[in-house]
Structure 1
Amino acid sequence: MEANIYDLKVPLNSRDLDYNLEKDRANLFFYGEVWRGRVRSNVEEHRTIDTIEAGGFLTDEFFNQAITSTCRLRISQITYPAKLRSLQKGLAMVHGVKRATVHLEFKEAKVLFDPNLTTETLILKAIADIGFEADLISVGDEAYEVHLKLDRASSGDMGAIKSSLEQAVGVTYVEMEVVERMVTVGYEPDRTGPRSILQFLEKYGARLYVPPKRRELEQHQEACAYRNLFLFSCLFSVPVVAFAMVLPMLPPYGDWLNFRVCKMLTIGMVLKWIFCTPVQFLAGGRGKDFFETSSMLISFILLGKYLEVMAKGKSSDALGKLAHLAPDTACLMNFDDNGSLLSEVEIDTQLIQRNDIIKIVPGAKVPVDGIVIGGESNVNESTITGEARSICKSTGDKVIGGTVNENGILFVKTTHVGTDTTLSRIVQLVESAQLSRAPAQKLADQISKFFVPVVVVAAFVTWLGWLICGEIGLYPKHWIPKGMDEFELALQFSISVLVIACPCALGLATPTAIMVASGKGASLGVLIKGASALQNAYKVKTVVFDKTGTLTVGRPEVVSVVLFSTFPMQEVCDAAIAIESNSDHPFAKPVVEHAKKMRRKFGARSECCKRVQNFEVFPGGGVGGKIDRKTVLVGNKRLMRVHNVDITPQVDRYTIENERLAQTCVLVAINGKIAGGFGVLDTPKPGTKAIISFLRSIGISTIMITGDNLATAFAVARGVGINKVFAEMDPIEKANQIKSLKTRGNIVAMVGDGVNDSHALAAADVGIAIGAGTNIAIEAADIVLMRSNLEDVVTAIDLSRQTVYRIWLNYIWALGYNIIGMPIAAGILYPFFGIRLPPWLAGACMAASSLSVVCSSLLLKCYRRPLNFQST
């Protein structure tokens, strides 16, 4: 554990409490039901913390991460890995910068910094001092904002509009473009929304305006620019090729090209000069002219760049597809104060606000996240989770924006809108993964660091070698093409070496593969948070599984209830209901529900409303508190032993029998005596045994780690084919066990879903969270499985392996062109076969190398889940 620990205890049901913690290191605002625990959330100062991890502490590590801000920058001149390295080193030296991620292909940088030590302006100035030009794209996290265009507003109205908007309820900021009459309004979704803001500006002709994403716009502009340049160069290069290579081969049609205009120039040379001048200014002298070399070299390079930009656009189009999953419109239902329906209005999806009631007809897409308050239907969630089977949704179930309603009508109350929807967060997650740098990129950086000087030396040696050999007569004169001399021949070989050895393809090898793989993973319901996680997963040799909710279905049922003392059943049930109602453990809800049924069975007419005092969570053991001055404990045998509660032979026999049947025994102790017990069964997920078997077949060992008792854990593990079990472990012990496995040289992946798993997920080399699990487990993980299906553990590892394989294949493509092409460009085949690689053809090969690398990465879009384990 860290040296400085801050013990936090917040009364249950406290709201909006401002705590000045020791040393005034942070002011944290808490909202909702919180309790003694460790805050595990990378949040900024003064932001709401809604995920509190039970049973831990506040540490220095949290405070060091808490006060941070983020900005994204556009950097134009970053074109080669060498420049990227110098920029990263420079950013790392800026005072206050905690982390900087620079993406070569997007030409973007994401900087995490301490706002108390530096600002965006100072960061921009530091980048300028390094020698780069940068523009600010955004500051902070994605905000709630709406973009509007005011058709009936004059320039004089804009000032008044801004003032009135800034005073409106829920508006956080207002940005305006007076000339274009456009306004961007930030807002708090709990107080207002885009529809209210639109109505506020209705008299000015306000309408929604969707600004194009900067990256997409710039990529489109870059592609158009290269396309236009290529077509422009072709307009002049094609005639040049005809004059230089086609017509001279077709006498007598090309004879006129040899007529001399003057002593030094022929008609053909003049025409080539005229047509080449718009492509590039070049002067000829005595000897052979190189007009066609210049124009064709430029044309091929432009063609290669255009195709490369188009291909790179396709490698990141997963984001565009994800963003367009949500429908354009939705059916809003308006009610009066009495709950009577007033109207149904079709509105733009961007105008949906929290707590709106939306009607979703069969075949329509769900616009935003929400809860079903009426109706029943099957919903296809394959676009978000990758789950092919439709899921039945009824009152109380959650629905996700972008999914498809298949057969019935659903009435949904919206809970998450704008950038807070699952779909938006997936897009942000994939974008963040694409911006991150994989460890494999370091290899390209190291190679390019030495590659450029080596190429320059090789080009110089090529020129010098051919020149010397020609001057001293080491090769016959007829090797020199007509119109050339020894110097010009040597120069062409040297230029060809420089052109073909351009390291552009090397820089594309890793980022393009990461971009495609992270997008493909998202479409399969496997969200990968960063390039490091994607690359590290292929090295995993040990997978550690949590039990409850991970290997098991996560819907436990009470299968038996037993009394062990003179306490009546109703009192035991009342104690269990009161205590477990405050617990978030997966077994708490079924115990409460079954205890309520037992109360009704024994004649209770009213609901249990016992008040709990001094409620406390014992991680890995259970919960406890005081009810009517009686001390009550609800949990496992370990909890009872810690609190010196006597375990009678009768209790011991009952627990052993439950454990033999893979059931967990939840004991209830009142005033130091065990009053009763609940036998809880949570069945393993279907297909788990086949998945464990498949992992073993590909050389990956599996382990179960759980807080449950040893006998139950072994029974469950035996049923799914796991031989090694660590049981009766609290969250800290789980994390320590993961660290212990790592010290033995294992690359460890941890798969879990609960609060108790977050320490272990963070400690593992690769943390894999089940998507249906708690927010805190998902925050701590590197990979999130949206389907909550263990098959996707195999998918994540296999996708990682395929991606790393593709990265190495890309390196082979990139270096292969250079290793094979450079000797040919240097003229190694010329003495034997008369094969020479002119500069324009070397340019075509260079462009082809970049294109082949990008196309190789695009093949990852054809990735399919492994099917082998399904028949195991």
Structure 2
Amino acid sequence: MTEEKRAELRISGMTCATCAATIEKSLKGREGVKRAEVNLGKETASVEYDPGKVNLKDLELAVKDAGYEVIDERATIKVGGMVCATCVSTVGEAIKSLDGVLDVTVNLGSERAYVTYNPRLTTMGEIRKAIDDSGYQYLGVVGEDTEDLERAAREKDLREKKRRIIVGFAVSLLLMAMMFLPLGHLFMFLPMGVLMLLISLPVFVYVSAPIFRAAYRALKNRNLNMDVMYSMGIGVAYVSSVLGTFRIVLTPDFMFYETAVMLASFLTLGRYMETRAKGRTSEAIKKLMGLQPRTATLIRDGQEVETPIEEVQVEDVILVRPGEKIPTDGEVLDGEGYVDESMITGEPIPVLKKAHSAVVGGTLNKNSALRFRATRVGRETVLAQIIDLVDQAQGSRPSIQRIADRAVSYFIPVVLTIAFLSFLAWYFVLGSRYLQPEGVLLFSLTTMISVLVVACPCALGLASPTAVTVGLGRGAELGVLIKSGEALEVSDHLNRVVFDKTGTLTVGRPDVTDIFAADGDESALLQLAASLENSSEHPLADAVVRKARAEGLDLQEVREFYAFAGKGVVGRMDGKELVMGNRTMLSERSIPISDEISAKALDYEKLGRTALFVALDGRLLGIVAIADRIKENAALAISELKRMNLGVVMITGDNPRSARAVAEQIGIQEVYAEVLPQDKASEVKRLQEGGNVVAFVGDGINDAPALAQSDVGIAIGSGTDVAIETGGIVLMRDDLLDAVAAIQLSKKVMSRIKQNIFWAFAYNVALIPVAAGVLYPAFRITFRPELAGLAMALSSVTVVSLSLLLKKYIPEAKRIRE
């Protein structure tokens, strides 16, 4: 009978006793729950349950089904010592075996474990112990000050491997020299075999000890991993040599001490190269973490006080001198200067900051002292959220990786089977046909050893996580935050990209686009129009006034101002009537419109712009055209998407005529107009039902339902105001070419994953048969164990190196912009 367990869940969303009763009822309705008691005051639920019938995940699901949320914690843990997909499985299973752990994802490329757990049931100390007991290294939690610990552990590991490689290759070369050079007279007092044993034994133990230790840990945890295979390969080679030395079963022909030592050295060299390469895969996130200053200069009681960043609070006043990094998010109080935000947004041009401007932690103050008020600190800053988002995304797995992981789980038993079958085939069947009788056992052993060491599940295990880690890090550097492996994979299969119009394709506010003055004096016409509209609160009036102020025009006083809804405005300036409005307004005041001005107005209206006529003292002076201006690069972005054979759709609440005018200017043919905000998701769904894979590009605020409905939502940020929670992809900069760059980057990463998996499979499919001796009967080609070990080392390094090439990748859309 299973022993009962007790769990305490922290719950959010309860407001009354009825809430507590609802949760209790939902929990008690689960099979295996013996008792459930909800404490409204503490916002907790205490549950006694039978773990044989129900688990913690089921209990949390019961609470969610009742309409409430369980508060869990998520930690990203640095793990050292993992080398293959089986290591990933071992670490994951060890953590998952703890009672309070709900979900674990382990990433081999970034050497991280992403753990969701209930802190009332499992502590970080217990998670640490589980990792250590499984034979791997707990190197701290991401976000804590453990970067030095992680770096020190990696450098120590590399130093040790380097020493083993140098000693191993030096001694194996010495052993080879002893075999081929006439050195016997120098050591007459000892047989050559015994001498080689004495020289090689301490070196073999020193070089191969980590491989045998890792194999022991794997077997202890009931896992078969590559270390088990490699230890069998080098172990068989060395034991055969010892047996041959003393003529126990085997003859001196089986002495290949140099092969055993060199093989162990090659395997260690592979690990060394792989560890160095893997250390570079997560450089992007380390670079982001390095942006955070360690201290801030606070202004307290008129004094400058240097304070650790952890002690800075919201509302603190902070001074940043030229050349210093801004320590937290905030709002400028005084000072004016340029700030380099390229490390956050990817925008290379410094941004002017003055009073009331927002600043972002981690950015660089260029040329003037700024004093600002902290608005977000610690884990709430934009930089911290970006780091967290990228870190979580790097821990996610596209489905193609799950397929590779499943293949790896079958890989090692299959390779062990092939190794033993190759030995048996050559010893009992093929040897007598193709080999001299005295060489059959030696050849059979050699093929078995070669198969054991040439097989490389590492390459398969690293194919996806290294590419995802490097690719998402590169995206962060370019100002494109891809939030999951699933978003990557979906973006690779897109065939429709849907754009919201207002605020996405257009600026989202009316602007003056054209001025036509009958007498040619456009500044004078704008000054009159702005002076009149200055008394109005209409959005079109604001556009006119904003334009005049941008051009430095002085506005004059207007008296007797009146606004006529849907028509225009009127006032008196210097005793003369000043009118601005549409055709109806002019008609009612009997102001004639010349053919020239009428034709000009029609031209503007065909482009979807609003034409406002300006008249003074009954005489028409000209036109001010206003429109929601199309964003810079919008047409370029649409053109690039079409070049990629993606269908482009525009969706808007505007009338068909205005919508069509905007669409024609930027090259979109498929337009859905007069669609209410709540109906945009329905339009996306309709496209999906037609067999399309749809991306929706919106501002992340008004378009949340459509972003959620689409296969991948692309939310456009506006510099520092990032809609982190919305969309599968978040753009740090308000530039539509970045939406194209996000899709191009996703396709590139997925292409690299497929290349990696292809080469990993191709390597194993090609070399394992060669190692097993299939080419020997026809071509007399064999694969020596040392060369098999070298090939194994190169295979995983090749995969990691291919992934690292993504660090230099620049999407075509980014090149266009530059």
How high is the TM-score relative to the length of structure 1? 0.67
Q: Tell me which of 235, 241, 252 is aligned to 2:167.
A: 235
Amino acid at match of 2:417: V
The aligned counterpart of 2:523 is none
The DSSP-based 3-state class of the residue aligned with 1:857 is: helix
Q: Tell me which of 781, 786, 793 is aligned to 1:840.
A: 786
Q: Answer yes or no: is 1:500 the counterpart of 2:460.
A: no
Deviations 1:765-818 (A, max 9, x none): 111111129979541211111111111111101111111111111112212221
Deviations 1:16-42 (A, max 9, x none): xx9948953799xxxxxxxxxxxxxxx
Amino acid at match of 1:516: V
Please list, as runs of the form range in 1=range in 2, the aligned pairs for 1:211-250 lying within 5 A after superposition. 211-213=145-147, 217-218=149-150, 220-232=152-164, 234-235=166-167, 237-243=169-175, 245-250=176-181
Please list, as runs of the form range in 1=range in 2, the aligned pairs for 1:437-448 lying within 5 A after superposition. 437-448=397-408
The aligned counterpart of 1:359 is 319
Check whether the contact 1:434–1:515 (CA below 8 A) recurs between aligned residues.
yes
Deviations 1:808-833 (A, max 9, x none): 11112212221221122112344555
Deviations 1:318-341 (A, max 9, x none): 111111123444443344xxxxxx
Deviations 1:182-212 (A, max 9, x none): xxxxxxxxxxxxxxxxxxxxxxxxxxxx832
Deviations 1:80-117 (A, max 9, x none): 546756987999999997754333445544344678xx
Check whether the contact 2:693–2:711 (CA below 8 A) recurs between aligned residues.
yes
Check whether the contact 2:263–2:786 (CA below 8 A) recurs between aligned residues.
yes
Q: Tell me which of 802, 805, 810 is aligned to 1:859.
A: 805
The DSSP-based 3-state class of the residue aligned with 1:780 is: coil
Amino acid at match of 1:462: S
Q: Tell me which of 375, 379, 382 is aligned to 1:419.
A: 379
How many residue pairs were aligned?
A: 671
Amino acid at match of 1:779: E
Q: CA deviation at 1:714?
A: 1.7
Percent identity of equivalent pairs: 37
Amino acid at match of 1:246: A
The DSSP-based 3-state class of the residue aligned with 2:702 is: helix
Q: Tell me which of 687, 693, 697 is aligned to 2:639.
A: 693
Q: Answer yes or no: is 1:333 the counterpart of 2:328.
A: no
Distance in 2, Cα, partners of 1:540 & 1:747 = 5
Q: Tell me which of 235, 259, 284 is aligned to 1:293.
A: 259
Q: CA deviation at 1:433?
A: 1.0
Amino acid at match of 2:322: P
Q: Answer yes or no: is 1:320 the counterpart of 2:279.
A: no
Please list, as runs of the form range in 1=range in 2, the aligned pairs for 1:142-291 lying within 5 A after superposition. 211-213=145-147, 217-218=149-150, 220-232=152-164, 234-235=166-167, 237-243=169-175, 245-251=176-182, 254-256=183-185, 259=188, 261=190, 265=193, 267-273=195-201, 275-279=203-207, 283=239, 284-285=242-243, 286=247, 287=251, 288-291=254-257
Q: Measured at CA, do residues 324 and 96 of structure 1 come closer, stay the same or move farther in structure 2, by a change above 3 Å? A: closer
Deviations 1:621-656 (A, max 9, x none): xxxxxxxxxxxx99xxxxxxxxxxxxx9969x9999
The DSSP-based 3-state class of the residue aligned with 1:554 is: strand
Q: Answer yes or no: is 1:402 the counterpart of 2:362.
A: yes
Check whether the contact 1:236–1:275 (CA below 8 A) recurs between aligned residues.
yes
Q: Measured at CA, do residues 86 and 322 of structure 1 come closer, stay the same or move farther in structure 2, by a change above 3 Å? A: closer
Q: Measured at CA, do residues 505 and 807 of structure 1 come closer, stay the same or move farther in structure 2, by a change above 3 Å? A: same
Amino acid at match of 1:24: C
Please, which runs of 5 or more residues in structure 1 have no aligned partner? 1-17, 28-44, 48-59, 143-209, 336-341, 561-572, 581-585, 606-632, 635-647, 667-677
Check whether the contact 1:533–1:782 (CA below 8 A) recurs between aligned residues.
yes
The DSSP-based 3-state class of the residue aligned with 1:556 is: strand
Q: Measured at CA, do residues 817 and 61 of structure 1 come closer, stay the same or move farther in structure 2, by a change above 3 Å? A: same
Q: Tell me which of 467, 487, 498 is aligned to 1:544.
A: 498
Check whether the contact 1:540–1:747 (CA below 8 A) recurs between aligned residues.
yes
Check whether the contact 1:739–1:763 (CA below 8 A) recurs between aligned residues.
yes
Check whether the contact 1:87–1:127 (CA below 8 A) recurs between aligned residues.
no
Q: Answer yes or no: is 1:529 the counterpart of 2:457.
A: no
Check whether the contact 1:73–1:136 (CA below 8 A) recurs between aligned residues.
no
Check whether the contact 1:25–1:63 (CA below 8 A) recurs between aligned residues.
no
Q: CA deviation at 1:488?
A: 2.9
Q: CA RMSD in A?
A: 4.8
Q: Measured at CA, do residues 545 and 515 of structure 1 come closer, stay the same or move farther in structure 2, by a change above 3 Å? A: same
Distance in 2, Cα, partners of 1:108 & 1:870 = 36
The aligned counterpart of 1:120 is 122
The DSSP-based 3-state class of the residue aligned with 1:682 is: strand
Q: Measured at CA, do residues 689 and 237 of structure 1 come closer, stay the same or move farther in structure 2, by a change above 3 Å? A: closer
Q: CA deviation at 1:689?
A: 0.9
Q: CA deviation at 1:344?
A: 3.3
The DSSP-based 3-state class of the residue aligned with 1:332 is: strand
Q: Answer yes or no: is 1:459 the counterpart of 2:419.
A: yes
Deviations 1:581-626 (A, max 9, x none): xxxxx999879999xx999855699xxxxxxxxxxxxxxxxxxxxx
Check whether the contact 1:817–1:849 (CA below 8 A) recurs between aligned residues.
yes
Please list, as runs of the form range in 1=range in 2, the aligned pairs for 1:752-831 lying within 5 A after superposition. 752-772=698-718, 777-831=723-777
Q: Measured at CA, do residues 277 and 397 of structure 1 come closer, stay the same or move farther in structure 2, by a change above 3 Å? A: closer
Q: Measured at CA, do residues 575 and 24 of structure 1 come closer, stay the same or move farther in structure 2, by a change above 3 Å? A: farther
Q: Measured at CA, do residues 228 and 449 of structure 1 come closer, stay the same or move farther in structure 2, by a change above 3 Å? A: closer
More displaced 10-residue stretch of structure 1: 344-353 or 684-693: 344-353
How high is the TM-score relative to the length of structure 2? 0.71
The DSSP-based 3-state class of the residue aligned with 1:302 is: helix
Check whether the contact 2:713–2:727 (CA below 8 A) recurs between aligned residues.
yes
Check whether the contact 2:637–2:813 (CA below 8 A) recurs between aligned residues.
no
Q: CA deviation at 1:279?
A: 4.2
The aligned counterpart of 2:75 is 72
Check whether the contact 1:499–1:842 (CA below 8 A) recurs between aligned residues.
yes
Distance in 1, Cα, partners of 2:64 & 2:498 = 25
Deviations 1:709-764 (A, max 9, x none): 33222221121111111222223211111111112121111111153201111111
Q: Tell me which of 89, 99, 103 is aligned to 2:107.
A: 103
Please list, as runs of the form range in 1=range in 2, the aligned pairs for 1:478-517 lying within 5 A after superposition. 485-517=439-471
The DSSP-based 3-state class of the residue aligned with 2:419 is: helix
Please, which runs of 5 or more residues in structure 2 have no aligned partner? 1-12, 23-41, 45-62, 209-234, 515-532, 548-553, 567-581, 589-600, 613-623
Q: CA deviation at 1:430?
A: 1.0
Q: Tell me which of 17, 21, 24 is aligned to 2:19.
A: 24
Check whether the contact 2:110–2:466 (CA below 8 A) recurs between aligned residues.
no
Q: Measured at CA, do residues 833 and 79 of structure 1 come closer, stay the same or move farther in structure 2, by a change above 3 Å? A: same
Q: CA deviation at 1:136?
A: 9.5
Deviations 1:216-271 (A, max 9, x none): 6346424523531441463255224212x2244444xx343674625x94544543
Q: Tell me which of 507, 513, 518 is aligned to 2:472.
A: 518
Q: Measured at CA, do residues 363 and 88 of structure 1 come closer, stay the same or move farther in structure 2, by a change above 3 Å? A: closer
Distance in 2, Cα, partners of 1:122 & 1:326 = 25
Distance in 2, Cα, partners of 1:446 & 1:376 = 57
Distance in 1, Cα, partners of 2:607 & 2:64 = 42
Query: More helix per residue: 1 or 2?
Result: 2
The aligned counterpart of 1:642 is none
